Amino acid sequence: MIITKDLTKTFKRRISRKEGKFEKITAVDHIDLTIKKGEIFGLIGPNGAGKTTTLKILSALITPDIGTATIDGYDVVKCADIVKNKVGLLSGEFARSLYWRLTGKQNIEFFAKLKNMWKPNERINELLELFALKQWENEHIMKYSTGMKHKLAFAIGLLNDPPVLFLDEPLTGIDPITAYELKQIIKTGFKEKTIIWASHNLYEIEEMCDRIALINYGKIVLEGEPEKLKKNYWDHTKILVISDKPHAFTSLQNMEIKGDTVEIKTDNVKKTFLEIMELTKNKNVEIKEIKTLKPSLEEIFIDGVKNV
């Protein structure tokens, strides 16, 4: 559904007004991606990594310098108008372009007119219902909470029911209840849609996405299913033992002492647990805490960003 080849975008940024000096920033650096129909693809990466620029190119809002991108076979440069009809770019920031003096319904009607929609009332009602805004439709959005404005912005982005959605930090700045509502709507109502979800929030990415890519300085550093990425990162389990006498455990294999914590890498959790218990027997060793650890996306993210 979405294919990019060698996609590259460079910006010029003025670094000295006096001397008229510019620096070149490669915001998107030779990106190759293939995203299947119906997939939710997570794009993670630190600030300035190139997530929003990638989504803007794929939405036919800015053009790449090198490379190509197609949406459902349509080139984002050559067929920009078709692409614009197929994609919806939803970002939390869009809530700022709402008209404060209009009601919720007037706002959505205004954007339906801009999109030249014919008889949009049925769709508007459907969206207001979907986002639980129907009972507030005649209130001025000045009175809306941030979450309600966010949902209205989402409803507007979905007016023409695009098959491809780009969600740029879709849950940033909203409360957990609104975030939960939006996630439920996306999980249940958007099954047919192909989605790219850009975010810093690794928990929401892991919960929502089938596959993810880590982007840093415009380059894809890692790509794959979250579970597989974690398995490839380290496939063993770590057992952490916090004890008053960490040196009582030095006979264990693959152990490391860090302060009062003993970190043991193991492929057989049960066996290692029994060994730990055995070592504490009749030796007056106190275990304050014991827990197992599996790799998290956070560690993979931090490592992936560090190693570039």
Ligand X SMILES: Nc1ncnc2c1ncn2[C@@H]1O[C@H](COP(=O)(O)OP(=O)(O)OP(=O)(O)O)[C@@H](O)[C@H]1O
The binding site for ligand X (CB under 6 A) comprises 11, 13, 25, 27, 45, 47-53
CB of residue 202 to ligand X, shortest distance in Å: 13
Residue nearest to Mg ion (CB): 52
Tokens representing residue 104 in the block: 């919720």
For residue 53, state whether it binds Mg ion (rule: CB under 5 A).
Answer: no
- For residue 206, report the phi and psi dihedrals to the nearest 5 degrees: -65, -40
The interaxial angle of helices 297-306 and 226-233, nearest 10 deg, is: 70
Alpha helices in 6-79 (DSSP H): 51-58
DSSP string for residues in 147-189: HHHHHHHHHHHTTT--SEEEEESTTTTS-HHHHHHHHHHHHHH
> 223 or 263, CB closer to ligand X?
223
Residue 9 interaction partner, one of ligand X, Mg ion, none, beta carbon < 5-8 Å per kind: none
Residue 70 interaction partner, one of Mg ion, ligand X, none, beta carbon < 5-8 Å per kind: none
- CB environment 108-130: b (16+ within 10 A), e (fewer): bbebbeeeeeeebeebbeebbeb
CB of residue 214 to ligand X, shortest distance in Å: 11
> 9 or 51, CB closer to Mg ion?
51
> 217 or 273, CB closer to ligand X?
217
Alpha helices in the chain (DSSP H): 51-58, 80-86, 104-114, 121-130, 146-157, 176-189, 202-208, 226-233, 269-280, 297-306
What is the distance of C-alpha 177 from the center of its chain? 18
> 31 or 229, CB closer to ligand X?
31
What SS3 class is residue 101? coil
> 171 or 255, CB closer to Mg ion?
171
CB of residue 50 to ligand X, shortest distance in Å: 4
What is the distance of C-alpha 72 from the center of its chain? 22
> 15 or 277, CB closer to ligand X?
15
C-alpha span between 242 and 228 (Å, rounded): 29
Residue 95 interaction partner, one of ligand X, Mg ion, none, beta carbon < 5-8 Å per kind: none
CB of residue 278 to Mg ion, shortest distance in Å: 52
For residue 52, state whether it binds Mg ion (rule: CB under 5 A).
Answer: yes
CB of residue 213 to Mg ion, shortest distance in Å: 15
Query: Per CB under 5 A, which region of 49-57, 178-186, 278-286, 297-305 contacts Mg ion?
Result: 49-57
> 53 or 266, CB closer to ligand X?
53
> 25 or 66, CB closer to ligand X?
25
Residue 124 interaction partner, one of ligand X, Mg ion, none, beta carbon < 5-8 Å per kind: none
CB of residue 176 to ligand X, shortest distance in Å: 21
Query: Per CB under 5 A, which region of 38-46, 47-55, 102-110, 232-240 contacts Mg ion?
Result: 47-55
> At which residue do the structure tokens 């098959």 appear?
163
Query: Per CB under 5 A, which region of 44-52, 82-90, 171-179, 201-209 contacts Mg ion?
Result: 44-52
10 contacts: CB under 8 Å, gap ≥ 6: 24, 25, 26, 27, 65
For residue 59, state whether it binds Mg ion (rule: CB under 5 A).
Answer: no
Please check whether residue 30 is in contact with residue 219, taking contact to mean a CB–CB distance below 8 angstroms. yes
Residue length of the chain: 308
Task: Name the residues that contact Mg ion, by CB under 5 A.
Answer: 51-52
